[in-house]
Chain A
């Protein structure tokens, strides 16, 4: 029974499969690349240590990407379950236990993890080889006896499978709250009022926010006298960001509402704004991954840019600048991958949530929404979500990045408090990325929504 459902619902997993494959490709490609570098030093003393160090650095970025991917996957599974509420309720009605159903969903997650991780790893290793071939041909890399596949690529593969499996289990907890009763009436997602009233979670969110922000401030002050301020600030950053993620169910709708006001008062715009806000769980699921991704990228970029300002002021010189610029470039590209995964997650989540509203769109079409108005509504919704998540991520990232630089280097002679240095190029890329994302995320769902005739859409159960 559950196997049949999994097969029929296979299309829903395309999104998670893509995210999983991207993470695995990133991980495997990066590890394979460290292997190539190691091959250059094979015969030299300490070659093994070189790779250990490189793998350790690579793992930092792989783990960050996996963290973002897990959050995206957990949320995608949450969206899928919300769309299946009627089916789940029906199965519960005829006697399936919630635990069994949840285990079935997690099993789908395991399959997605296995398929995505293996496929992604093959692509990742392939891309690494292609890059190497290009490097050798253009003379950047010397000719050498390079390995074909580094056995260590198994590490990201295993990690991706495990995190996807876990994420699907976490995301499927929604199954537990579906009652058999919902099979009889229209299954409703929790509305704003209901989902904001989650007192325990809200209290924890506030505790983390306040505690984290205090530690962050303390770290910055401490940083004025000692570089160890960064340790305190780090915990402050992690703490307060945990607060943001925990409180996402009321923070994001608030930000979305703010952005929604800017959209105007036409029917498509008001409906889009209402859509983004009325089901906070749905919009939080869609946006939280992107907020995390953008925060990570921005934190890193602002921290590096501010470090650079302080170091240049302290030590001056072209050498420092050149080395820093290259390092910042490479590391930004690596961390940027987390942002890409988050963006893919948002595109897919929005598509799914539009797909699940087929019937509502059919009703609107019957009542006189033109195809153009439907497209406008979906674009407005997508724009609202992109702008809100990228905006919030930017704001958080600028604070965190500045705090990191300030708490580490504030004690250097004559530094004191400095303004954050804005990496304008990267910020411009993020803003352009948000605009592109808004358009891209709206593209597929609006094409699908307007291709379906109102009659067919109304017939969807």
Chain B
């Protein structure tokens, strides 16, 4: 697998994206002319201190929010001008999500949550998709939990259900926003290993937002964000290197 070759297929791309919140003197510029691409089949970490614009970047790339200026592509689709329902369909079919918390619909059991993207599409999984989902359920250790509801699961188990749901439709891209932020270190490591495996073994493209160097070290590529701008973009790095870079960045600021 070629992880760093320039010109690899991009599953998501932003070009000169700026995002401001508020008006007048209260304006906050969360993203300042950001351009980057997420490569297919790679596990990419977007790293940066709290408030650096990571979540905003993810929301815009995933079609959850619109940029103030600039263009956004998801797969080959320019999503910049799409209306709400077109964006919704795109998310439903081509994007998977893992959030920090509140990932699951409380009224649905584990099976219902995993199958939700299919239900939303008004269809049952095909035979092949069902086999894939069964495989995911087995390898994520959820077989005995299918009838449980979210509040009956630990935080780590809830995240695994969210991962199964995100991978279930084989989306172009899975977005994970601080997926380990609410977990103890062991469950956190488990979740990271699962994401890394999905990229390595299934060729799943994943973009993960995190401020934790240990989490970022699980990724194939690390993009550093500070004050709404990309400040570095490097291949797989150790947690120590990432920490050192972050500290240097803070010292320079």
Contact = CB atoms under 8 A, between A and B. Distances in A.
Nearest to B149: A191
Interface string A265-281: 01100110011001100
Given A371-B84, A455-B59, A267 B89 contact: no
Interface string A246-285: 0000000000000000000011001100110011000000
Nearest to B155: A185
A104 B73 CA distance: 52
B88 A370 contact: yes
B106 interface: yes
A94 interface: no
Contacts of A191: 149, 151
Interface stretch (A106-114, A168-176, A356-364): A356-364
Contacts of B200: none
A280 to B, nearest CB: 12
Contact of A371 (B59, B85, B102, B122): B85
A454 B64 CA distance: 6
A278 to B, nearest CB: 4
Interface in A357-393: 359-360, 363-373
Contact of B122 (A266, A271, A363): A266
Interface string A158-193: 000000000000000000000000000010100100
Interface residues of B, number: 31
A274 B105 CA distance: 11
Nearest to A267: B119
B53 to A, nearest CB: 13
A148 interface: no
A2 interface: no
Contact of A365 (B88, B99, B108, B121): B88
A370 B85 contact: yes
Interface in A331-376: 359-360, 363-373
B120 interface: yes
Contacts of A275: 107
Contact of A188 (B84, B99, B103, B151): B151
A360 B102 CA distance: 8
A368 B85 contact: no
B13 interface: no
A363 B107 contact: no
Of A186, A267, A270, most B-chain CB atoms within 10 Å: A267
A367 B106 contact: no
A105 B54 CA distance: 40
A217 B116 CA distance: 49
Given A274-B107, A359-B102, A367-B92, A267 B120 contact: yes
A64 interface: no
B32 interface: no
Given A363-B103, A367-B97, A371-B84, 6 more contacts: A271-B108, A278-B107, A364-B105, A367-B165, A455-B64, A455-B65
11 contacts: A267-B119, A267-B122, A271-B107, A274-B107, A360-B105, A368-B92, A368-B93, A368-B121, A370-B88, A371-B85, A453-B65
Interface of B: 59, 62, 64-65, 84-85, 88-89, 91-93, 97, 99, 101-108, 112, 116-117, 119-122, 149, 151, 165
List 6 tightest A-B contacts by C-beta distance, closest first.
A368-B92, A267-B119, A278-B107, A274-B107, A370-B88, A188-B151
